[in-house]
Structure 1
Amino acid sequence: MQLDDKKAIFGWSMYDWANSAFATTVMAGFFPIFFKQYWSIGVDTTITTARLGFANSAASMIIGLGAPILGAIADKGTSKKKFLFFFAYMGAVMTSCLCMVSQGNWPVAILLYIFATIGFLGGNIFYDALITSVASGKKLDFVSGLGFSLGYLGGGILFAFNVWMVLNAKISGFSDTGKVIKSSFLSVGIWWAVFSIPLFLFVKEPKNTEIKLPVTMVKAGFTQLRKTFQNVRHLKTVFLFLMAYWFYIDGVNTIVYMAIDYGISIGLESRDLIVALLITQFIGFPSALGLVYLGGKIGARYAIFIALAIYLFVSFYGAFVQSKNEFYILAITIGLVQGGIQALSRSYYAKIIPVNKSAEYFGFYNMVGKFAAVIGPAFIGGINLMMRSLGYSSDSASRFGISSVSLFFIIGGILFSLVNEEKGRKELKYLSQDSV
């Protein structure tokens, strides 16, 4: 299998371009606003925040429970691309169906959103795992950063187009803004489906000629998963990293999922929040590669620490935001590190896991990330409800919620300081020798 092939790297990276449209236009952009103002019209913002937080948590929990098993099965049957195809196109179809949900029908909207999010999160397990089929060790940081960078650019371009359509609804030929936003969900589904094609064409997955039958593949997957748990004592560095990642990526994902909702809760205009999201996207495009470049100079470990320090500042600063300009400063700061910390975490992990079990180990990686995403949004929703029950206003409750995210960055940073990459490589070498 040839690594570092330019066409394969391009195909792999384009999937980030494809599915990031869902992350921007739907998850972070229009869905939170439309869910509050159209599908949950007349409902208190505290309730809608809780519903949205619990929906994100439900999707993350479903994927989190199945991720390691799916990964082990995919490794044994060399089916990463098949699983990716299923989840990607399920997500694209469910997203497209949001355009048909009527006003006030929040249960159907939230159900379609959960299934679309499952498609997004589930596909990422196998997309992440395929990086070891595309890039060699020396190229992992760059290729991982390229994927996130293109994701910010692609997601930002479609989102900017959809925002322009919303702001110019009549020029676009729509009778009202609601219909434009509904059409944006359809555009995301089409974009996701079309730009996923290069990955399926250009990325080659190594074949396993020993196992072909689906039943055998499933059995082998469960057997391999059990062996991985038995090997924990030899890969302590991997699981220490996963613990650290569990906490700090929880903070990152929570800010991604709940930022727009938070802005609405503290009284900012929807238009200003959309501009802030666009700022984050287009700053994130060069910044993802920039932080990866910095990691190449000072080490990925130190670059991740810098990103964590910035996120800690964001979680405290966010609680005191009053105006749209202050929110824009927040957006700029997040854009500088959001893609970089995700890219460096993915490539850092890829260096300390067995290459021939990449889907399984990235199943654990994504399981940790998804269970973290269960805690974060639900935690904020719970804080909001608790503070409201104590008599605080919606504004104050939301500010308590965003500042509480700092706990995840503090704990994650402490645990990450205990991770030793060199020790992890030695453990991996020992495990390889022991399994011969």
Structure 2
Amino acid sequence: MGVDIAVEAAEPRDGADRRREQRGWYWYDWANSVYSTTVLTVFLGPYLTSVAKAAADAEGFVHPLGIPVRAGSFYAYSVSASLLLSVLVMPLAAALADRSGRKKPLLGGCAYVGAAATTGMFFLDGDRYLLGGALLIVANVSFVISMMVYNSYLPQIAGPEERDAVSSRGWAFGYVAGALVLVADLVLYAGHASFGLSQESAIRICLASAGLWWAVFTVVPLRRLRDRLPVRSAASPAPPLGSSLRQLRETLRDLRRHPLTLSFLLAYLVYNDGVQTVITQASVFGSEELGLDQTTLIVAVLLVQALAAAGAVLMGRLARRHGAKRTILGSLVAWTAVIVAGYFLPAREPVWFFCLAVAIGLVLGGSQALSRSLYSHLIPRGKEAEYFAAYEISDRGVSWLGPLVFGVAYQVTGSYRDAIISLAAFFLIGFVLLSRVPVRRAAAAAGNRVPDLI
């Protein structure tokens, strides 16, 4: 006999309870965005690279598991390994969360494992590059899975007419938290001597504090969000995991019945991989190739944080005039120009690096926001949660190829300029793939009303 499963309270509740849950949901973006900015974007890349170089042999290689790896590539390979592992774990975690309804324990477990690993980076010193790589992998896998669970709450806490606003407020909370903590990091790092700290100690404190911030503010969403438990038929003893795997196979089969939607996901997978790699590797490029100090890198990231929200608003206005697809295609041209400009940046010239940060900020938020809104037109009604789970896997879980290409390019050439220019391929291929997706026909094939501009 089949399994009869219905999710309790599939629609968001009305009034004060719904708004209270939404406000709790915002705070997880506030909690985890500091890991993304302080750890991944600013400090860990250059610092772990320096630790790996301290452990390197005379030829500049380290040997994790007996494999010769150029020390300058170790961080990129570690990021790539963490995202590849996420690909293997996330489908099971997503399916189990959907079918069991027990999202909050999974969110809390991933958040606190990730926060503990990040806090443990305080002990990353000397030549402990293997410790740094292991902590990065644990923290990043936990971060990716927790973000998948976090995003899956959106259809449950907000009605269709308010999801854009609720989602945007979450992004805003994250940008504000990242900027505030980076200002504090800048004060500590720039004035480390006045605090009686070495430069390395200041960096380790900044890394660990991101983990503590993540742990402390995760309490708020865990107190306010609630699980929607499935109601299982008494006649069905099927285990949740078996149901989850069957549901995952059903989603993949359904995606194949909508090949135009799948084509968009493929294009998004490619160009988003380029975006994520620029975010995680820019600090390594700035410090190792351009010879910029950590203070300059922090200021550059602050510029990106401040301008990302403004860029999203600007590109949203462009989309109202030209359509989301054309605007995204324009942003991919801009991303390619950013990569080419980065290749030619002069060393030890912070002003030009700041100009590059301004350009990245203006296209970053808009390209991500419009990609999500365009995808929403291509989803069959009644399957929003399933299809956004696939989108999240494309967004977070398949972003391992870019860091791998970056690391291999540096390993082969020994030049971070060659490594950064290799990322242009992701934006160019993504542009070609997206330009070939007939989004109006895709929206109609999904059974949706086609807007005048899309």
**Could you say whether these structures have the same fold, taking a TM-score greater than 0.5 normalized by the shorter chain as the test?**
yes
Task: Please name the residue that 1:171 is paired with.
Answer: 194
Following TM superposition, by how much is the alpha carbon of 1:190 offset from its aligned partner in structure 2, in angstroms? 1.6
Return the match for 1:99 from 122, 130, 133: 122
Cα distance change of structure 1 residues 348 and 12 upon mapping to structure 2, 3 Å threshold:
farther
1:99-118 paired onto structure 2 within 5 Å: 99-118=122-141
| Higher alpha-carbon deviation: 53-62 or 143-152 | 143-152
* Alignment partner of 1:36 is 2:41: no
Task: Please name the residue that 2:169 is paired with.
Answer: 146
Q: Secondary structure at the match of 1:373?
A: coil
Following TM superposition, by how much is the alpha carbon of 1:297 offset from its aligned partner in structure 2, in angstroms? 5.5
* Cα deviation code 1:241-299 (max 9, x no counterpart): 11011110011011001101111222322232222122212222433344345445644
Return the match for 1:2 from 7, 12, 17: 12
* Cα deviation code 1:193-225 (max 9, x no counterpart): 222233333344543212799972111101111
Q: Secondary structure at the match of 1:352?
A: coil
Cα distance change of structure 1 residues 198 and 365 upon mapping to structure 2, 3 Å threshold:
same
| Higher alpha-carbon deviation: 365-374 or 47-56 | 365-374
Task: Please name the residue that 1:368 is paired with.
Answer: 394
1:251-290 paired onto structure 2 within 5 Å: 251-270=274-293, 271-290=295-314
Q: Secondary structure at the match of 2:232?
A: coil
CA contact 1:280–1:335 (8 Å) conserved in 2? yes
CA contact 2:76–2:403 (8 Å) conserved in 1? yes
* Alignment gaps of 5+ in structure 1: 389-396, 431-436
* Alignment partner of 1:410 is 2:428: yes
Instruction: Count how many residue pairs are aligned between Structure 1 and Structure 2.
Output: 421
CA contact 1:129–1:358 (8 Å) conserved in 2? no
AA partner of residue 247 (structure 1) = V
Please give the alpha-carbon distance, in whole angstroms, between the structure 2 residues aligned to 1:360 and 1:66. 17
CA contact 1:149–1:288 (8 Å) conserved in 2? no
1:196-211 paired onto structure 2 within 5 Å: 196-210=218-232
| Higher alpha-carbon deviation: 255-264 or 237-246 | 237-246
Following TM superposition, by how much is the alpha carbon of 1:228 offset from its aligned partner in structure 2, in angstroms? 1.9
Q: Secondary structure at the match of 1:384?
A: helix
Please give the alpha-carbon distance, in whole angstroms, between the structure 1 residues aligned to 2:194 and 2:307. 29
Following TM superposition, by how much is the alpha carbon of 1:94 offset from its aligned partner in structure 2, in angstroms? 0.5
Cα distance change of structure 1 residues 418 and 198 upon mapping to structure 2, 3 Å threshold:
farther
CA contact 1:149–1:339 (8 Å) conserved in 2? no
RMSD: 2.7
Cα distance change of structure 1 residues 217 and 428 upon mapping to structure 2, 3 Å threshold:
farther
CA contact 1:308–1:409 (8 Å) conserved in 2? yes
Following TM superposition, by how much is the alpha carbon of 1:404 offset from its aligned partner in structure 2, in angstroms? 1.8
CA contact 1:88–1:123 (8 Å) conserved in 2? yes
AA partner of residue 162 (structure 2) = K
1:29-68 paired onto structure 2 within 5 Å: 29-38=42-51, 40-41=53-54, 43=56, 44=60, 47-68=70-91
Q: Secondary structure at the match of 2:192?
A: coil
Q: TM-score, normalised by structure 2?
A: 0.84
Please give the alpha-carbon distance, in whole angstroms, between the structure 2 residues aligned to 1:345 and 1:11. 25
Please give the alpha-carbon distance, in whole angstroms, between the structure 2 residues aligned to 1:161 and 1:8. 29
Cα distance change of structure 1 residues 316 and 372 upon mapping to structure 2, 3 Å threshold:
farther
1:332-411 paired onto structure 2 within 5 Å: 332-353=358-379, 360-370=386-396, 372-388=398-414, 397-411=415-429
Q: Secondary structure at the match of 1:137?
A: coil
Following TM superposition, by how much is the alpha carbon of 1:239 offset from its aligned partner in structure 2, in angstroms? 1.2
| Higher alpha-carbon deviation: 287-296 or 339-348 | 287-296
CA contact 1:133–1:204 (8 Å) conserved in 2? no
Following TM superposition, by how much is the alpha carbon of 1:184 offset from its aligned partner in structure 2, in angstroms? 1.4
Please give the alpha-carbon distance, in whole angstroms, between the structure 1 residues aligned to 2:216 and 2:239. 33
Task: Please name the residue that 2:331 is paired with.
Answer: 307
1:417-428 paired onto structure 2 within 5 Å: 417-428=435-446
AA partner of residue 311 (structure 1) = W
Q: Secondary structure at the match of 1:209?
A: strand
* Cα deviation code 1:9-41 (max 9, x no counterpart): 333232222211011111111111211234542
Please give the alpha-carbon distance, in whole angstroms, between the structure 2 residues aligned to 1:363 and 1:109. 30
* Alignment partner of 1:329 is 2:352: no
Following TM superposition, by how much is the alpha carbon of 1:409 offset from its aligned partner in structure 2, in angstroms? 0.9
Following TM superposition, by how much is the alpha carbon of 1:65 offset from its aligned partner in structure 2, in angstroms? 1.8
CA contact 2:101–2:228 (8 Å) conserved in 1? yes
Please give the alpha-carbon distance, in whole angstroms, between the structure 1 residues aligned to 2:131 and 2:237. 34
Please give the alpha-carbon distance, in whole angstroms, between the structure 2 residues aligned to 1:95 and 1:364. 27
CA contact 2:155–2:385 (8 Å) conserved in 1? no
Cα distance change of structure 1 residues 422 and 329 upon mapping to structure 2, 3 Å threshold:
same
* Alignment partner of 1:71 is 2:81: no
AA partner of residue 421 (structure 2) = S
Following TM superposition, by how much is the alpha carbon of 1:83 offset from its aligned partner in structure 2, in angstroms? 2.0
Cα distance change of structure 1 residues 301 and 82 upon mapping to structure 2, 3 Å threshold:
farther
Please give the alpha-carbon distance, in whole angstroms, between the structure 1 residues aligned to 2:281 and 2:427. 16
Please give the alpha-carbon distance, in whole angstroms, between the structure 1 residues aligned to 2:129 and 2:336. 34
Q: TM-score, normalised by structure 1?
A: 0.88
* Alignment gaps of 5+ in structure 2: 1-10, 62-68, 449-454
| Higher alpha-carbon deviation: 92-101 or 227-236 | 227-236
Please give the alpha-carbon distance, in whole angstroms, between the structure 2 residues aligned to 1:155 and 1:149. 10
Q: Sequence identity, in percent? A: 28
CA contact 1:142–1:292 (8 Å) conserved in 2? no
Q: Which has the larger radius of gyration?
A: 2
Higher relative contact order (CA 8 A, sep 6+): 1
Following TM superposition, by how much is the alpha carbon of 1:74 offset from its aligned partner in structure 2, in angstroms? 1.3
Cα distance change of structure 1 residues 290 and 190 upon mapping to structure 2, 3 Å threshold:
farther
Please give the alpha-carbon distance, in whole angstroms, between the structure 2 residues aligned to 1:229 and 1:32. 35
Cα distance change of structure 1 residues 10 and 310 upon mapping to structure 2, 3 Å threshold:
farther
Return the match for 2:206 from 180, 184, 201: 184
